[in-house]
Amino acid sequence: MSIENTTLGQHVEPPNSPDEAKLDRVPNPHQDINYLVRFVAPEFTSICPVTGQPDFAHLVIDYVPDEWLVESKSLKMYLTSFRNHGAFHEDCTVAIGKLLHNTLHTRWLRIGGYWYPRGGIPIDVFWQTGTPLEGVWLPDQNVPSYRGRG
């Protein structure tokens, strides 16, 4: 296995859109076991495709790796690329989950998108690749129902 690296240890400008972003992956040194990796992005931002106003979410990404791990700086750059991207909450959340799963070929993945209210209604979006794997500790995502989430 080789390291696919376009960001680590390099100065990288944030991509202008998710289509321009590149997720890097690195070899999983523990392919012989199932374990959970969690990324939390409490300040995720995208743009409403109708109004052009910013939308904010708290993302929680859990996955069980197979051969690959996502390189965290490239994930940060990918998530940052949504700041000027117009898409609905559901599209952002599911697209992120699907790209991670398809790039890493995860054994299992789930993403929770906990969106802050616009128009007085918070929207929470959840997607996963299938049934959680037996024997993998799956902690709660610990994001409260909206009541001044933070």
DSSP string, 21-41: ----EEE-TTTTS---EEEEE
5 pLDDT exceeds 80? no
Does the pLDDT of residue 76 top 80, yes or no? yes
Question: What is the distance of C-alpha 150 from the center of its chain?
Answer: 18
| CA–CA separation, 117 and 146 (whole Å) | 8
Catalytic residue among 19, 24, 32, 48: 48
pLDDT tens digit string along 125-137? 999 999 999 999 9
Which CATH number does 25-128 carry?
3.30.1130.10
The phi, psi pair for 107, rounded to 5°, reads -75, -30
User: Which pLDDT band, with edges at 50, 70 and 90, does 1 fall under?
Assistant: very low
- Token output for 64: 């069980």
Q: Where are the domains of the chain?
A: 25-128
3-state DSSP assignment of residue 148:
coil
Residue 69 has pLDDT above 60, yes or no: yes
Catalytic residue among 24, 32, 55, 62: 55
Q: What's the confidence (pLDDT) of residue 41?
A: 97
pLDDT at position 4, please?
A: 59
> Does the pLDDT value for residue 97 go beyond 50?
yes
Label residue 148 by pLDDT band (50, 70, 90). Answer: low
48 is catalytic: yes
User: For position 2, what pLDDT does the model report?
Assistant: 40
Amino acid identity at 81: S
Q: Is 55 one of the catalytic residues? A: yes
Model confidence band, residue 104 (pLDDT cutoffs 50, 70, 90):
very high
| Spatial contact of 49 and 92, defined as CB atoms under 8 Å apart | no
Residue with the bigger pLDDT between 8 and 108: it is: 108
Output the pLDDT for position 129. Answer: 98
